[in-house]
Structure 1
Amino acid sequence: MVAPQPSSGRIAELDALRGIAVIGIVWMNVHVFALPIQAYYNPLAWGGESPLDRLVWAASFVFVEDKFRTLFAMLFGAGCLILFDRGRAASGPGKAWRAHYARMAVLFAIGLVHAILLANNDILRAYALAGLALPLLAPLSPRALVAVAIGLMALHVGAGIVTFGGGLYDWHMGRFSSDATFFMERNFGTDPAAVSFMLERGQETLRERVVRRVEGMPGQLSAIAASLPLNLSAIALGMAFWRGGMLAGRWRTFRLQRLAAVCALVAVPALLALAWFVAESGFPGALTGAASLVLSAPFDTLLGIAYAALAMAFFTPGGFATRRLATVGRLSLTNYLMTSVILASIFASWGFGLFGTVSRAEAFAFGFVPIMAMLAWSPTWIARFGQGPLERLWRGISGLFG
């Protein structure tokens, strides 16, 4: 997702990369809509009994989970930097700052509504809050931005180790009665009472959901704050790769392929080993949570970079796949939100009510529904209107304040 831009002067490969990111997000989000939250991390919690379900978990852990969030955040950073630089050149830094902060305020409001009505794991609010730091990062060189990204990643991993350390130590020592162990099992493990509670919550009405989410806003903001170093790290990388020319399409194919290969050769073996270790250990809550949220984070980022480099290497402006994915990317905000509408219609109690009734593999298959919808409707909409409805709304409201 990227800050709204006029239709002229676009880079087709960058739009297509954004299309890949919003499609990949579907395969992350579908399990949030379809299964109790513990099952998002832990296949033994619910819907992961068969070998196929375990394979889907492993493939998602290694190749999907947080890789496309990283890619999405990188493109958000690049898009905001594009607009900030244009605004600064046209009307000076003061007005560019005001316009940027107006966009972030409107984006946060959109994300808030999205989270209350549809998606517990909305990322727009985190991007909007992380985006407050972008004008401070904008003057930095690509090398400095990469250094900032590494520092923020180290902060995320360090804080995560502190958070999960007690539970990991208890698990390692074979102690299963501490408060830390109970917390980890309730949130990332297979605790029957916790899973049953989330299954019941999945049957709540839309009105019950809205009331609960509004009342739980302080807790949501705490979770968003904890995610800011990780998201800002990816955003800073996107700014660095735009400044350095990679996302602008100025790198040679060999250089892009070399970057992708190096990142993938580091990330994939590490993620495979981590997935194997978690599975062989029996998916204990503390280890499963730490592996998903903390230990995998540097490698998730590296694989997200590899995806970006590969896409920029092989996309061609006139190619069919590039053109089709570019239309999806130009509607990235609309498509991201419409994906939640489609998935809620399938799984929520006010839709077809399939929450908790499908396996992990079946949920993954349902992810093709919004993906096919995006690929089908995006070219027609772009050809007729040139800009997505929610992109137009975001840009229009932001313009009133910026």
Structure 2
Amino acid sequence: MKMERVRLIDSLRGLSLFGILLANMLIFQYGMWGKDEISYFSLSDLDTGAYKFIKIVVEGSFMPIFTFLFGYSLIKLVESLRKKEVKARWHLVRRFILLIIFGTLHGTYLWEGDILAFYGFMGFFLFLFINRKKKTLIIWGIILLLLTSAMGYGVVEETNEEVKELSSYIVKTNDVYTNGNYTEIMDHRNNESPLFFDDEFFLLFVMILAPFMTAPLFLFGMAAAKGKLFTRPSLEQKWYKIGVVLLPIGLALKASSILLHENDWSAILLNVGAQFLSLGYISLFALLFVSYSNSNVFHGFESVGKLSLTNYIMQSVICTTIFYGYCLGLFGNLGMLNSIILGLVIFVLQCVCSSLYLKKFQRGPLEVILRMGTNFSWNGAVKKRKKRSKKSKKIEMENTLV
């Protein structure tokens, strides 16, 4: 039973990395800001269709799956540590700090689309909810989803200065990322940005709002772990079938937001639709897992998921090598449809390589480092206490405060 649960969670994590890769192809090829200003790039009708497909079906709906699984795994880690009578708080603190370090290095020296640092900071925010009951987590998740979605009501008009600055930035990014060397690209990534992103008040607002905007899926994942969801897939099919209903709803909401002219409701429809679609994808994947868990496809997803940290970083290494000027320099020139095909090829290769790697090793190189730092031991193992004492009782009391 335990093995089945682990396989499903790892497979879901692999699925999320596949979707994240396809969505990130927009950033790898057009830049963080250029991906939403696609008119600066001359796309064919076929590429325009592929672009809209990624925006509706993929972008913003696979990262929340990874977010959901982060919350799920957080609770499982805490439960495991508490059973071993160790201080869960300090294990988590070390883990979150390591994620921040990994993310900072990744974002500074390789690629601007990093999420690891944010997940590390978000972990500290989630300390507030670790000991909450399942029902409480669900209620808070729904409240935050509604509140943050409502905040998206209305259309923010850009000033002429902002439009001009953004246009200039995208043009320069296109030139630097296509023709620049490693140093020039890194300098542009770390030291230049659109005018409004240099606004201290804007950055402060984003930093304060970001945890609340992303919290719902973290909390739903934590609630799922406390409710033992995914531990018995064959007996949970009725819940998966209910969740699948969110698929068409999420697609309809996102499509209406992206395809129709921008209006006051666009941001709300996009946010709610993306969250619904994420939950729908999770449900559909889990439902298919019940019948096809032993297929090569699911084994591939599982293998990638077990090495999620290493594979996530490798996606950046591979794609920056292909698109940036210090190697092949295909930035903005590959085409949207071709980039989707490239994403499929990269992920298949990751499935094959991960499967072969796991035949000899239990964990990926970055997973080993993360485990060593989390457990503060050279072999990565949790240091168990030999016997129960007053200290263990004290630890239990401390754990209740985590």
* TM-score normalised per structure 2: 0.82
Cα drift, residue 154 of structure 1: 3.4
Q: 2 CA distance for matches of 1:74 and 1:28?
A: 17
CA contact (8 A) 1:205 1:349 kept: yes
| 1:169-218 Cα distance to aligned partner (Å, 9 max, x none) | xxxxxxxxx62x6536755xxx4x34312212324332234445555799
Q: How does 1:253-264 map to 2 (within 5 A)?
A: 253-261=237-245, 263-264=246-247
Q: 2 CA distance for matches of 1:390 and 1:348?
A: 24
Is 2:284 the partner of 1:305?
A: no
| Equivalent in the alignment of 2:84 | 90
Over 3 Å counting, the alpha-carbon distance change for 1:234 and 1:186 in structure 2 is farther
Which residues of structure 2 form unaligned runs of 5+? 383-402
Q: How does 1:377-388 map to 2 (within 5 A)?
A: 377-388=353-364
Q: 1 CA distance for matches of 2:101 and 2:3?
A: 27
Q: 1 CA distance for matches of 2:207 and 2:357?
A: 33
| Equivalent in the alignment of 2:400 | none
Greater shift in the superposed pair: 359-368 or 349-358: 359-368
| Equivalent in the alignment of 2:343 | 367
CA contact (8 A) 1:271 1:299 kept: yes
Over 3 Å counting, the alpha-carbon distance change for 1:249 and 1:108 in structure 2 is farther
Is 2:179 the partner of 1:200?
A: no
Cα drift, residue 230 of structure 1: 2.6
Cα drift, residue 359 of structure 1: 2.2
State the one-letter code of the partner of 1:128. Answer: G
Q: 1 CA distance for matches of 2:342 and 2:34?
A: 16
Aligned length: 366
Q: 1 CA distance for matches of 2:231 and 2:182?
A: 43
Paired residue secondary structure (2:38): coil
Is 2:254 the partner of 1:271?
A: yes
Greater shift in the superposed pair: 328-337 or 9-18: 9-18
| Equivalent in the alignment of 2:54 | 60
| 1:299-341 Cα distance to aligned partner (Å, 9 max, x none) | 1011100111111111144333222211110011111100000
Q: How does 1:214-363 map to 2 (within 5 A)?
A: 214-215=190-191, 226-250=209-233, 251-261=235-245, 263-278=246-261, 291=266, 295-316=269-290, 317-363=293-339
| Equivalent in the alignment of 1:173 | none
| Equivalent in the alignment of 2:385 | none
Paired residue secondary structure (2:156): helix
State the one-letter code of the partner of 1:201. Answer: V
Query: Could you say which structure has the larger radius of gyration?
Result: 2
State the one-letter code of the partner of 1:25. Answer: I
One of 109, 117, 121 as aligned partner of 1:125: 117
| 1:138-168 Cα distance to aligned partner (Å, 9 max, x none) | 222222212222233234334444xx6431x
| Equivalent in the alignment of 1:108 | 100
Q: 2 CA distance for matches of 1:368 and 1:9?
A: 26
Q: 1 CA distance for matches of 2:191 and 2:268?
A: 28
| Equivalent in the alignment of 1:37 | 32
Identity %: 22
| 1:98-156 Cα distance to aligned partner (Å, 9 max, x none) | 10111000011001111112221111111111111223212222222122222332343
Which residues of structure 1 form unaligned runs of 5+? 1-6, 168-177, 282-286
Paired residue secondary structure (2:40): coil
State the one-letter code of the partner of 1:253. Answer: Q
CA contact (8 A) 2:251 2:273 kept: yes
| 1:70-95 Cα distance to aligned partner (Å, 9 max, x none) | 00111111111110121123225xx1
Tell me the C-alpha RMSD between the 2 structures.
Answer: 2.8
Q: 1 CA distance for matches of 2:275 and 2:6?
A: 23
State the one-letter code of the partner of 1:82. Answer: K
State the one-letter code of the partner of 1:349. Answer: G
Over 3 Å counting, the alpha-carbon distance change for 1:133 and 1:204 in structure 2 is same
Q: 2 CA distance for matches of 1:305 and 1:51?
A: 31
CA contact (8 A) 2:258 2:270 kept: no
Cα drift, residue 260 of structure 1: 1.3
Over 3 Å counting, the alpha-carbon distance change for 1:276 and 1:392 in structure 2 is same
Over 3 Å counting, the alpha-carbon distance change for 1:225 and 1:204 in structure 2 is farther
* TM-score normalised per structure 1: 0.82
